Amino acid sequence: MDLRSDGQGQREETVIEGLDGTSVLVTGGCGFIGVNLVTQLLAGGAAVTVLDLAGANWRNLPTGVTQIRADILDPRTLAGALDSIEIVYHLAARTDIDGESLEDYLVNFRGTQNVIEECAAGAGPRRFVFFSTQLVVGLFNETRFIDETEPYRTKTAYGQSKIEGEKVVISACTAAKIPYTIIRPTSVYGPWGEAPYKQFFRVVKRRRYFHVGRADNLVSWAYVKNLVDLTVLASLREEAQGQTYFGSDFHPYTMREITDAVGAYYGISVPTIPSVVMTVIAYACLLPKRLGVNVPIYPFRLQNIRANYCYDIQKSIRLGFMPRYDLDSGVRETLDWYEQHQLI
């Protein structure tokens, strides 16, 4: 893979070597990250098949894609779907954090098991790439850099389901002798993105967002095209077999930097509210929130806004990954896309 930049924040498209004519499958390919991945794979000359639910938003996909409507929780719908596939990019998942128990996220591990079993029923792909999440090691408001050796720990049923998914991939792929790679995206934004960042951009645009105090907490953000570059690179490198990688931009940003980048796009100077004042407001909104009122801030949301989470991508860089987009160029391209489609 050749990553090229003109050095002025304008990024050329990635030149992908090693994909031309390769038969690939993207599960969950109609989703936010999936559409961006499919677009890049097609640009690299791959023969792309997308497998997703019948009710998925298929119109998001570019032309030239083979479509399979199936439910990975129903193995019968997968029969024959993976024949002759050389690389599987397994993105199909439930990714919200609203579920209350592991049973709400069966698709993330039982569905993964079904996909691997169907892979093993045939010749088997030369690589199985599993999309996990940063939440398998949690968000614990720490400024230290967390790398891939961090033990599993999580606060959410979603995070636990992805832990189970990683375990399934490691055990089932090893048993079936299918080479695998695990990608752990951090907080991803970009074209086709929905919650929570589309809403965040809209709130800043409408001048309804305020910096909380210094807003100097560090956040590992990932522009979706940077993440796609890492994913494709790892799927093609032999040394990535059996390995796990965090997918993020080159370094974390402060919340002030992120918000100011959005504000700058719209010519807005984002105001600051002292932390103590915002804390009082958040707790004052707690009772209305519990009564079902849609309030702009409450203690849990404030805690998330102020949280630190930093992930170390040195392992990804040693693989050959170098993010093409920085914060300003990623935000600019994202907001250009939202505005062109009149989504915010």
**Cα–Cα dist 20/216, whole Å:** 44
Q: What pLDDT score does 128 carry?
A: 98
pLDDT (tens digit per residue) in 300-343:
888 888 999 999 999 999 999 999 999 999 999 999 999 999 99
For residue 4, pLDDT over 50 is answered with no
Largest CA distance in the chain: 62
Q: Is the pLDDT of residue 98 over 90?
A: no
Q: Which structure tokens are listed for 273?
A: 């509210």
Angle among Cα 249, 253, 259 to the nearest 5 degrees reads: 115
Binning pLDDT at 50, 70 and 90, where does residue 8 land? very low
Comparing 78 with 12, the larger pLDDT belongs to 78
For the segment 193-221, the average pLDDT, to the nearest whole number, is 94
| Mean pLDDT, residues 123-136 taken together | 96
Cα distance between residue 167 and residue 148, in whole Å: 14
Distance from the first to the final alpha carbon of the chain: 34
Tell which residue, 11, 3, 41, has the closest CA to residue 25. 41
DSSP label of 56 = S
Who's near 171: CB < 8 A, 6+ residues apart? none
Higher pLDDT, 108 or 140: 108
pLDDT value of residue 7: 38
Average pLDDT over residues 174-192: 97
The band of 218, judged by pLDDT with boundaries at 50, 70 and 90, is very high
Confidence of residue 13 (pLDDT cuts 50, 70, 90): low
Quote the pLDDT of residue 11: 55
Reported as a pLDDT band with limits 50, 70 and 90, residue 133 is: very high
Band (pLDDT 50/70/90 cuts) for residue 15 is low
The percent of residues in the chain predicted with pLDDT above 90, rounded, is 85
User: Can you list the alpha helix ranges (DSSP code H) found in the chain?
Assistant: 32-43, 106-121, 157-176, 197-205, 224-236, 255-265, 275-284, 286-290, 299-305, 314-319, 327-340
pLDDT band for position 3 (50/70/90)?
Answer: very low
Output the CA torsion sign for 305, 311, 313, 316: negative
With tokens 């992805």, the residue in question is 162
Return mean pLDDT, the chain.
Answer: 93
pLDDT at position 6: 41
Mean pLDDT of 46-52: 98
Confidence of residue 162 (pLDDT cuts 50, 70, 90): very high
Q: Which residues have CB under 8 Å from 193's CB, separation 6+?
A: 32, 224, 334
Pairing of strands 253-254, 218-219: antiparallel
Question: What pLDDT sits at residue 69?
Answer: 97
Mean pLDDT within 71-86? 95
Mean pLDDT across 187-215: 94
